[in-house]
Structure 1
Amino acid sequence: PVVRVLPITHTPPANPADAIEIPAAVKNRLRLDHERSWIVLTESNRFTWPGPDLRNIDTESGYYGALTPGLFAEVKRRFVAIARGEVATSAPHRSVPRSE
């Protein structure tokens, strides 16, 4: 399947509408670092799953875990609104095909 992934960054967004901060409790559950992080909503990559950037991790399932349902719903709602041009952001949405 072709999937779309959104980047995660430690850099705060210039415009709060451009990203969603990942709550500390979610970062903890996913075993991410303790620095503040944001999911960038103004850009995405699309590629065939599994992609070349995936790395094995030491879990039975092979992935860190899922976002909480509420956070995932907020990311999805805001990402779709930005992609449709319904929300003013510092830059228009950019969809980039993943290159090898």
Structure 2
Amino acid sequence: MELPPRVAKHLKLDAGCGVVCNDLNRFTWVGPDVRATPNGTPFYGQMPERLFEEIRARVIANAVRQTDRDE
């Protein structure tokens, strides 16, 4: 699901960036795939609640099972 351009810009992500709604990973935070932002934290910012709920609904609709990741 592509992020709305305004949200991507707010989070300082590339245009066309998206969220995968048919794959759900569970891992110890902060995992090796999580990279720091220029200010040194892994947090880009907060997405609008409505967008979060849409992503959540799509994950549920896809009946996604979580995959435990060790690395």
Smaller-chain TM-score bracket: 0.7 to 0.9
Q: Write out the 4+ residue segments of structure 1 that deviate beyond 6 Å after TM superposition.
A: none
Which letter maps to 1:29? H
SS of 1:96 mapped into structure 2 = strand
Q: 5+ unaligned residues in a row in structure 2: which ranges?
A: none
- 1:94: how far off? 5.1
TM superposition score normalised by structure 2: 0.77
* Identity, % of aligned positions: 39
Aligned counterparts of 1:38 and 1:57: Cα–Cα separation in 2: 17
Aligned residue number for residue 58 of structure 1: 38
Aligned residue number for residue 43 of structure 1: 23
Aligned residue number for residue 79 of structure 1: 59
Using CA pairs below 8 Å that are at least 6 residues apart, which structure has the higher relative contact order? 2
TM superposition score normalised by structure 1: 0.58
- Higher strand fraction: Structure 1 or Structure 2? 1
Q: How many pairs align? A: 70
Q: 5+ unaligned residues in a row in structure 1: which ranges?
A: 1-19, 84-92
1:32 maps to 2:13? yes
